[in-house]
Amino acid sequence: MAVEENKAIVRRINEEMVSQNKLDLADELFAETVVDHSALPGLPPNREGLKQLFGMFHTAFSGFHVTIEDQVAEGDKVATRKTFHGRHTGDFYGIPPTHRQVSFGVIDILRIADGKVAEGWAVVDQLGLMQQLGVIPVPDQKVP
């Protein structure tokens, strides 16, 4: 599969499946045997786990969407630097709604095989998200 076609698959994941909350697209865009090497604790590292993950984000953050900042590809891999956005209006891992607007960065690498994502790795700015939610203080910020 051509590099540009692989990039288009990853753009669809971000723009349609994630931003538009069309989680059923996971069945079309991810291989049945996909492995999410960065699955959160408690979530299976497969398609169902990915649906649960993004469903959880849409439940916890109204207006949840992603902006692609950079995308590069070589061979069968696509790397994307992106920013997730939303307003914290629902429970998130036991954190009650803060109604704060958040933006946090993610970099992922997805391997495409036969037109579908076969495996993926992600690095998420979890510290930045927790600071924006007020769970972890920002340096030089007084703890109440």
Q: Topology of domain 3-132, per CATH?
A: Nuclear Transport Factor 2; Chain: A, (3.10.450)
Q: Are 70 and 83 in contact (CB under 8 A)?
A: no
d(Cα 138, Cα 135) in Å, to the nearest integer? 9
pLDDT digits 0-9 by tens, 78-134: 999 999 999 999 999 999 999 999 999 999 999 999 999 999 999 999 999 999 999
**Side chain identity at 5, as an amino acid letter?**
E
- Label residue 39 by pLDDT band (50, 70, 90): very high
- Position 143 scores a pLDDT of 63
- Position 141 scores a pLDDT of 64
| Eight-class DSSP state of 39 | P
